[in-house]
């Protein structure tokens, strides 16, 4: 007690959720409210049709409220509602308000089609605390409806965005590059600028995941054909004029061989709940051997017992050990247990497509030369140093 004491102050971003020694058990919780979607996008890794059979298998409201309460009790500050299309749930508003009243901020991933005037007004009155994130599938009815697989979807999406604008609700937009909308990119970026959305720059999906429940081999064949090639990926990324500089800075901090341990990412430090009440280490990792049924145990048990053990998993696949475990492009490469499981049904099989994308990026920023394989590069530390010395040149 004394003079000139500041009693209340704003938390700075670097303090979230707090210094490491005080960190709460759960910073953010992701919840897939449903796998159902009112779109039927060409590339989607998870969507189910809007039928009663899918709906009846989902978590009910009471179960979800209990999970949210468990999360708040563990110090969770942010909940991300995703799907499928989360706004398809009849109880979305109840879940949203309950989450906010527990003192957690909310991120909503949506296609925006179901944003009603009432919902926009509610979001303006009881702020989410984080911008909504809206996926965009084209800038014209023809391109959007073809990419989303739903006639009339474009009109509903634009109407939803307008309603958010009318009520001053913050949002970001995320582009999706698919054959029907590839010609829309420039227009998308102009529109984004005109909207004054919170994105600092365009964000695109283009390296699509296969069906994450490994439930549709025929569709997987189609998804593979929708992926941009590694070179096309780099050309899209390089639309950002600071791409090379930013990637060099990133690689200066985060590249290096991962070794045998499979989970060098943040998986399992937080949790994701699928539409049926199973806790996953991360959103795309649905290998039944790695999930925890929350009908049988608590979220805290998953975070303190199951996930820490799983995080110790080591690779045994000789191909992975010879390549990925020794590859210094880890950090740049999206190879991970979840992607491996989606592609191959194991946690430790190299995903050739991701390997190609990582190598193309490494070439672009000058880490490797044409034809080199990164796991065979012995002097990667020297290369990293040289690359950092050329940063900004």
**Closest CB to other proteins among 304 and 316?**
304
Q: How far is the CB of 197 from other proteins (least distance, A)?
A: 14
80 and 31 Cβ atoms separated by less than 8 Å: yes
In the complex, minimum distance from the CB of residue 26 to other proteins, in angstroms, rounded to a whole number: 10
State the Cα–Cα distance between residues 328 and 48, nearest whole angstrom: 38
Q: Closest CB to other proteins among 130 and 344? A: 130
Kindly list the residues in this chain that would bind other proteins in the complex (CB under 8 A).
1-3, 5-11, 15-18, 22-24, 72, 75, 77, 100-105, 124-130, 170
Residue 72 Cβ vs other proteins, minimum distance, rounded to whole Å: 8
Question: How far apart are the C-alpha atoms of 343 and 45, rounded to whole Å?
Answer: 11
Smallest separation (angstroms) from other proteins to the CB of 125: 6
Q: Which is nearer to other proteins, 98 or 380 (CB)?
A: 98
Distance in Å, CB of 169 to other proteins, minimum: 10
**CB 269, min distance to other proteins, A:** 16
Among positive and negative, which fits the CA dihedral 85, 34, 310, 344?
Answer: negative
Cα separation, 69 vs 50, in Å, equals: 28
Q: Whose structure tokens read 């994308």? A: 357
Phi-psi region of 392 (alpha: psi -120 to 50; beta: other; left: phi over 0): left
**Spatial separation of the C-alpha atoms in residues 166 and 282, rounded to whole Å:** 35
Angle made by CA atoms 151, 156, 158, in degrees to the nearest 5: 120
Q: Residues with Cβ < 8 Å from 137, sequence gap 6 or more?
A: 39, 41, 111, 143, 144, 147, 148, 153, 154, 157, 176, 178, 181
Q: Which is nearer to other proteins, 47 or 99 (CB)?
A: 99
Q: CA 340 to CA 349: how far, in whole Å? A: 6
Pairing mode, strands 278-280 and 271-273? antiparallel
Tell me whether residue 23 or residue 253 sits nearer to other proteins (CB atom): 23
Least distance (Å) from other proteins to the CB of residue 74? Answer: 9
User: How far apart are the C-alpha atoms of 121 and 323, rounded to whole Å?
Assistant: 53
The distance of closest approach from Cβ of residue 170 to other proteins in the complex, given in angstroms and rounded to an integer, is 6
Residue 200 or 309: the one with the smaller Cβ distance to other proteins is 200
Dig out the tokens for 221 from the structure.
């064949």
Compare residues 17 and 202 and give the one whose CB is closer to other proteins: 17
Question: Which is nearer to other proteins, 99 or 340 (by Cβ)?
Answer: 99
């Amino acid at each position: 007690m004394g003079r000139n004491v500041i009693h209340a102050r704003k938390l700075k971003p670097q303090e979230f959720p707090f210094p490491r020694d005080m960190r709460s058990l759960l910073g953010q919780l992701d919840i897939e409210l449903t796998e159902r979607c009112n779109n039927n996008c060409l590339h989607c890794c998870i969507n189910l049709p809007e039928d009663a059979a899918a709906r009846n298998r989902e978590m009910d409201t009471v179960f979800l409220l209990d999970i949210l309460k468990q999360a708040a009790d563990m110090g969770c500050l942010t909940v991300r509602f995703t799907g499928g299309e989360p706004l398809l749930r009849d109880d979305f508003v109840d879940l949203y308000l309950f989450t906010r009243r527990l003192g957690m901020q909310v991120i909503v991933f949506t296609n925006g089609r179901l944003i009603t005037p009432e919902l926009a007004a509610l979001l303006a009155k009881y702020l989410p605390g984080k911008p909504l994130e809206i996926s965009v599938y084209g800038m014209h009815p023809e391109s959007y409806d073809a990419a989303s697989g739903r006639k009339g979807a474009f009109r509903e999406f634009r109407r939803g965005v307008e309603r958010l604008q009318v009520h001053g609700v913050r949002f970001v937009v995320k582009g999706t590059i698919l054959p029907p909308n590839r010609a829309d990119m420039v227009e998308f970026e102009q529109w984004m600028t005109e909207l004054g959305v919170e994105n600092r720059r365009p964000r695109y999906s283009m390296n699509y995941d296969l069906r994450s429940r490994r439930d549709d081999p025929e569709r997987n064949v189609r998804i593979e054909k929708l992926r941009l090639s590694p070179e096309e990926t780099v050309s899209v990324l390089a639309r950002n004029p600071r791409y090379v500089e930013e990637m060099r800075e990133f690689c200066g901090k985060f590249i290096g061989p991962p070794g045998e341990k499979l989970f060098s990412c943040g998986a399992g430090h937080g949790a994701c709940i699928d539409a049926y009440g199973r806790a996953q280490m991360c959103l795309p990792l649905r290998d039944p051997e790695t999930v925890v049924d929350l009908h049988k145990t608590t979220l805290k048990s998953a975070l303190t017992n199951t996930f820490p053990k799983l995080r110790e998993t080591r690779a045994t696949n000789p191909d992975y050990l010879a390549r990925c475990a020794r590859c210094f492009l880890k950090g740049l490469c999206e190879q991970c247990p979840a992607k491996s499981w989606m592609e191959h049904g194991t946690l430790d099989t190299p995903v050739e497509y991701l390997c190609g994308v990582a190598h193309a990026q490494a070439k672009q920023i000058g880490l490797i030369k044409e034809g080199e394989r990164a796991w065979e590069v012995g002097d990667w530390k020297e290369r990293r140093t040289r690359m950092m010395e050329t940063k900004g040149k």
